[in-house]
Structure 1
Amino acid sequence: MSSSVTPLDYPYPLDLRHLFRCGWLSGVTVESADQEFRVHSLLLSLLSEVFAESDEDNFQLKEDHPRIVEVVMRFIYQMNYDDVVEKSGFSKVKFHIKLYLIATKYCIEKLWIFVEDNLKSIIQEGVLKDGFSDAIDEYYNRGCDDDGAHRHLFVEASDLNFQGLKDRDDFLDVVQRTPDFVFDLILEFRKRLPWG
């Protein structure tokens, strides 16, 4: 008799979260910098073009932050991630930007739509909190593949709250390191000019 865990060890109805925890019948391994996830290729392929087009059965995601990789793996099985935002160690806005960036990187459309639905309010809510400048840096300097589709969210929030941001060291640091953000901010300021 086998001692491995099977879905029969859990009460019915079977929940995909149980499959994630036990890894029963998983055929793919996803490795982060500090964890290994046994996942189901069907679920991975249904949610990501990148994984669907690959014949690999082991994916190395070690360049991505391990907590964010874990959230992605959990999202595949539960279509939610609310329970881990606080435990991630990131500010709420930086967490969502990191999650959005990895979702676009691996073409996990359901995840990026889920994040996108909340992004505007999260950025506006977090603009004067720690982590906002880090999120700008992350979005602008990490090489997001969304063609800058959400730059306006950072720019508009910065413009509306500029008086509160202009004396913050973290904001001034990101301004010095991120010329594209400065350019976008200047264009936003220009809209208020009589000839803008």
Structure 2
Amino acid sequence: MRRPPTRRRWLAMPGWSRNAAGLIGLAVAVAALAGLRDPLASMADFTAALMALNQLAPPLLLLAIPRRVGWALFDPVLATAGFVALSVGVSLPGLLDPALANALYAAPLGLLELLTGIMFWGQFFARTRQVRAGWPAAALLWAGSLPMTAVAIVWMLADNVLYTPYLDVICRWNIPPLMDQRWAGFVMFVAGIPLQLAATYLMIGPRPALIS
């Protein structure tokens, strides 16, 4: 007697869709890296490019992995520590100001965003997760997403411009630097929502319902 398809089977992606996801993720990463060429044009635009590298491209690229891997890159402690460190570090004027003032620093920052995003999003997908139980994996995702959310809220609520390079330039959108900073915070806040939804899914969803 033929067994009914399980939910795990239902969530399995065909090869063509994995390839498509990988190509889209690669296109997003390339476009976002190109968007880092002029970091002083707009803080909101710069943040959007970084978030595309950190939150949009990684899950698409991870979907393209054809089989389960056990790479050290996806060690949960290493991934969480790297993601949190970059989320906090990118908000520090002493670290971000050089990247804003010199586009040569912006590209390495973008690559770090992409790498840590892949490492951290890897805690969600069945083919890269090393923590198999749903609750611990969800806790990691929640813990890692909170610093980024906190930075976004600080940017949105700050009464002054936090990064001095933006004080002496005209924003691409002809808005004051403080408003541009608040829009950047909003972009970061929205970009973090899918990660929190993924954590919630792991926490309350049935264990077999993993994307594989």
TM-score category by the smaller chain? 0.3 to 0.5
Query: Which has more helix, going by share of residues?
Result: 2
Larger Rg: 1
Query: Which has more strand, going by share of residues?
Result: 1
TM-score by length of 2: 0.30
TM-score by length of 1: 0.32
Higher relative contact order (CA 8 A, sep 6+): 2
